[in-house]
Amino acid sequence: MPAKRSLTLALALLLVAAIPARATSFPTITVVDSINPGTLGSLALWTSGRLGNYIYFMADDGTTGYELWRTNGTSTTQVADINPTALSGSYPGNFFTFGDALYFSADDGTHGYELWRTTGSGAAMVQDLNSNGAGNSNPYGFTVLGDHLYFSANDGVHGTELWRTDGTTATLVQDINPNGAMTDSSDPNFLIAYGGFIYFQADDGVTGHELWRTDGSTTARVADINPTAGVGSNPNNFAQFGDDLYFNANDGTTGAELWRTNGSTTTRVADINPTPPNESNPYGFTEFGGYLYFSADDGTSGRELWRTNGTGASRVSDINSAGDSYPTGFTALGGYLYFAATDNTTGNELWRTNGSSTTRVADINVNGTDGSYPYGFTVLGDYIYFNAGDGGTIGKLWRVNAAGVVDSGAPVGTNAFFGCMCDHPLLTLNARLFAPLATDETGWEFAWLEEPSWVMPSTDRETTAWMTPLVLLAATLAAAGVGLKLQRGSRVE
């Protein structure tokens, strides 16, 4: 064998040996009990946000009360004691990342619940929107459009209206319900950026809660879907699909059904439950495989799995032939959409569909129809992680891969329970998964694990174990007389 070919083969074998292996066993779960050591717990991660390489959250260390903390798993520290005079703390929450800062609401004990931000070192109030002493502006619903962060807040004069900030100052976008009293609020809700506008639900005091939008300069009602004065259609659960914004709305005749708008035209997509006065009340909109999937009740088969491609709507499967299957938690992995659903045999368990075939993935709780009630579906690497109870352990950490194989892991601790009454019971930070956890030894704290199958985005791979195999590959091909260009971001070197 020629020397060059022998060298090439040797280097290729070395390359294969150097490529990071993807472990298949459930990762080790590390419990963190450093915030409030002992059995009392800190209630960490029940409300949280991400900035850079840290997860920020509210926690109680037993001394300063509920204040702002951050963690990357390895390091967990308090960012700021915003309310140093109260044992209860400042209760930071409603976290949202905008630019190079994390925005949130908090109460410093003087100004009430106002708009704050942090860049990782300390925290500062952006503005005292409600300057009536300790009055609360209660900012919430943060959504980014262009160079501004939009949100709802109450300044104590106009009621709860639409505001925005560039990070330095905050201004009222418009007093949509201008009836002159603090209690006359438009209550902007369900804010979503779409097509150069922020769309939302609001009440102008005349038409009721209807569909509105703003670009920061012009704010106007998009449609009066329910023309009955003062009633409103209550549009909600907005989701962009294709070129349109889909949502749930009630026109006063067909009940809460599936609607869409492109900003100019607003129409009902389907009357899924056509028997008055019933309604299908669709929700959980998730795009998958060229369709928008959701949960709906047609009045005949109960609440089941539905989908639309923009023309009408069709039921995907009647999972529970004896009633409602209540599909929730739609999350895509590989060629399937995974979710929790209830049939009349095993109870609430893990299911999946590819649009043609809908099957139960696993009967995690084998105790008849009790069900495991999986929730918190979160994609990390080659898996969807979730919480579920197997009948012996109420809240256990599980994962499923694209092949439908399910496994689980347990931390060290007595009566360990994963889960929380929060929007995000599982969080990801690069390759790490974080979750609130309670044990007899730690109380409510948190745990984390590292998923080996997670791959760093291509723009960052020069700093990972992937760089060595790529260099070896370059050397191999060079020895064979073949060139290799290593790409970093959009540059070719």
Taking the C-alpha atoms of residue 445 and residue 150, their distance in angstroms, rounded to an integer, is 32
First vs last C-alpha separation in the chain: 33
Domain-located, residue 357? no
Look at residue 2 and tell me if it is in a domain. yes
Are 76 and 122 contacting, i.e. CB atoms less than 8 angstroms apart?
no
Instruction: Note the pLDDT of residue 467.
Output: 38
Residue range(s) defining the domain that contains residue 2: 1-21+460-493
Closest CA to 420 of 456, 440, 445: 445
Q: Would 402 be classed as within a structural domain?
A: no
pLDDT for the residue 169: 95
User: Residue 77 has which token pair?
Assistant: 């520290």
Residue 483 lies in a domain: yes
State residue 421's pLDDT score: 84
Contact 31, 409 (CB under 8 A): no
* pLDDT mean values, one per 10 residues, the chain (493 residues): 46 41 80 96 96 98 97 97 93 98 97 97 96 89 98 95 97 90 83 98 96 98 94 97 98 96 98 89 98 97 97 97 96 98 97 98 94 96 96 86 95 91 93 96 97 79 41 41 37 29
Q: What is the DSSP letter of 461?
A: G
Q: Which residues pair with 378 in a beta bridge?
A: 385
CA–CA separation, 284 vs 271, rounded Å?
Answer: 17
Q: Peptide bond before 20: cis, by omega within 30 degrees of 0?
A: no
227, 210 Cβ separation under 8 angstroms: no
Per the domain annotation, does 492 fall within a domain? Answer: yes
What are the phi and psi torsion angles at 174 (to 5°)? -165, 145
Model pLDDT, residue 443: 96
Total structural domains in the chain?
A: 1
| pLDDT (0 to 100) of residue 483 | 43
Tokens of 254: 């067909």
- What contacts 61, CB < 8 A, 6 or more positions away? 35, 36, 42, 67, 78
Euclidean distance between CA atoms 181 and 453, whole angstroms = 56
- Residue carrying the six token digits 């920061």: 216
Q: Is residue 248 part of a domain?
A: no
Quick one: pLDDT at residue 456? 79
Q: Cβ-count burial of 50 within 10 angstroms (0-12 exposed, 13-18 middle, 19+ buried)?
A: middle
pLDDT of the residue at 492: 30
Classify residue 412: in a domain, yes or no.
no
- Domain assignment of residue 17, yes or no: yes
Q: Are strands 209-214 and 219-223 parallel, antiparallel or unpaired?
A: antiparallel
Parallel, antiparallel, or unpaired for β 291-297 and 122-127? unpaired
